[in-house]
Amino acid sequence: MNTNHSLHITFLVPHLKVSGGVRVILIYASMLAGRGHHVTVCVRSRSPLRRFLGNLLRRVPRWFPELHGARIMRVATFTEQDLPDADVIIASPAGTALDIARLSPLKGKKVYFIQHDEGLYHVPRGVADESYALPLQKIVVSSWLEEILRETHGVYSTLLLNTVDRMQFHPVPEAEPNDGLLRVLLLYHTYAWKGTKEGIEIIEAIKKAHPNVRLMLFGSRKEKSDMPCDEYYYNVPQEELAKIYSRADIFLCPSWDEGFGLPALEAMACGTAVVTYDNGGSRDFAFHEKTALVAPRRDTHRLAEELTRLIEDQKLRERIAQGGYRFVMTMPTWEEQIIKLEKILSDQ
C-alpha cells in the first residue's frame, strides 16, 4: 500500500449515538473519503429489518450528515462473513480490537485506534489489557494514553492528537449575554465518572455566595434534566454548539478520566475559560494558570477553589480564556491530522 492510490478502509464503531469518540471516527472517515479513499463505517445492528432498511436507504447519523462519500454499513456481527474486504480495518473500542484480531488478512491491515483506557469504566480490566497486547498497529489520541501503553503495558503506539474544527468552534460574540450574570457550563452525562453530579454540587454551593452565577447544562442523554440547573440545552445541533460555549463565561470539566476531552478543548476554541481536573487526556491542552485552571484528579475542594477564583477575578478569567484560545490556534488542524493518518494507514 502507498499514498499514490486510494485505499479501501473499514472503520468499526460501537454505535452511532452522539459521542466524542464516534465523532472523531466519523470525522476521519469523512475526510478520508473526501481524499478519494473508499471508506466504510460498520456498526452492529441486532435487528435484521433495521439493517436492511438502514443499508437500503443509506441512512447516516442525523447529527453528522456530511460523510463525503463514506458509507455506513449495518452488520449483524464483526466477523469474517459480515465485514467487507479492505486494505485497512480500524477498530476503536477494546471489544472490536479483539474482533479484528481474529480476522483473515483479506479484511485488511489491522489498526487499533485507542481513545480511552477502557479498563477504567467500559470493559473489565483484563479485556482492555488483552486488547493492548494484541499484535495490532496502535494509534492513540493523547499523550496520556501513549504513556499508559508504554509504561504499564510495554506497548509502543503512534500519537495522533485530537484537535478542533476552527470553522465550527470559534467565539460567537452575539451569543454572549449582556445581563450581568456569570454562566458556568457543564456537560450533562449519566456516567458517574463524567462527574456531572459533583460539578453541579460544586456550582450550587458557590451560587450561595455568588448569586449572579447561573448553571448551564447541555447534553444528549435525556430530553429534560433531572438535575438542578438554570438553563438546559438538549441535543444541540453540532453547528450550534459554538453558541452554547460562547454563551458561557466558564466551562467546568469534572470528569475523573478522559481519553482526550473534546468539550473542554471546544470551549477553549470558543474563547471560554476552562476549569478541569487533571484527568489524563487534558494534559495535552490544559496547562495550569496558562490555558486553564487545573485541579488534582477528583479533588472536589480544589476544583471548587479554582472555579471560585475564575468567578471572582474577571482579569484572571479573561487571561485564562485568551490563553486557551491562543493555544488552540497553535494546534494542528484536522486537515493536517488526516494527512498523518493517511500516511500511517498507507505504510506497510
Residue 267 C-beta-side C-alpha neighbours within 13 Å: 29
With H, G, I as helix, E, B as strand and everything else as coil, classify residue 103: coil
| Spatial distance between the Cα atoms of 105 and 186, rounded to a whole number of angstroms | 45
Task: List Cα–Cα distances, 142 to 163, 228, 235, in angstroms.
Answer: 10, 33, 26
Per-residue pLDDT tens for 287-325?
999 999 999 999 999 999 999 999 999 999 999 999 999
Per-residue pLDDT tens for 26-40?
999 999 999 999 999
Residue whose C-alpha cell is 477502557 = 118
Per-residue pLDDT tens for 126-164?
999 999 999 999 999 999 999 999 999 999 999 999 999
Are 317 and 250 a contacting pair, CB within 8 Å?
yes
Per-residue pLDDT tens for 237-275?
999 999 999 999 999 999 999 999 999 999 999 999 999
C-alpha cell at 234: 438538549
| Spatial distance between the Cα atoms of 131 and 118, rounded to a whole number of angstroms | 10
**What is the number of residues in the chain?**
348
Are 265 and 291 a contacting pair, CB within 8 Å?
no
Beta strands (DSSP E) in 17-70 are 38-44
Task: Output the pLDDT for position 4.
Answer: 55
What's the chain's average pLDDT? 95
With H, G, I as helix, E, B as strand and everything else as coil, classify residue 258: strand
pLDDT confidence bin for 66, thresholds 50/70/90? confident
Domain boundaries for CATH 3.40.50.2000 within the chain: 8-163+333-346, 173-330
pLDDT confidence bin for 171, thresholds 50/70/90? very high
Q: Work out the average pLDDT over 171-186.
A: 95
**8-163+333-346: CATH homologous superfamily?**
Glycogen Phosphorylase B; (3.40.50.2000)
Per-residue pLDDT tens for 48-57?
999 999 999 9
Task: Output the pLDDT for position 1.
Answer: 40
Task: Output the pLDDT for position 224.
Answer: 85
Fold of 173-330: Rossmann fold (3.40.50)
C-alpha cell at 127: 479485556
| Spatial distance between the Cα atoms of 256 and 266, rounded to a whole number of angstroms | 18
Q: Which amino acid is at 191?
A: Y
Phi and psi torsions of 111, nearest 5°:
-125, 135
| Spatial distance between the Cα atoms of 52 and 34, rounded to a whole number of angstroms | 26
Task: Output the pLDDT for position 222.
Answer: 83
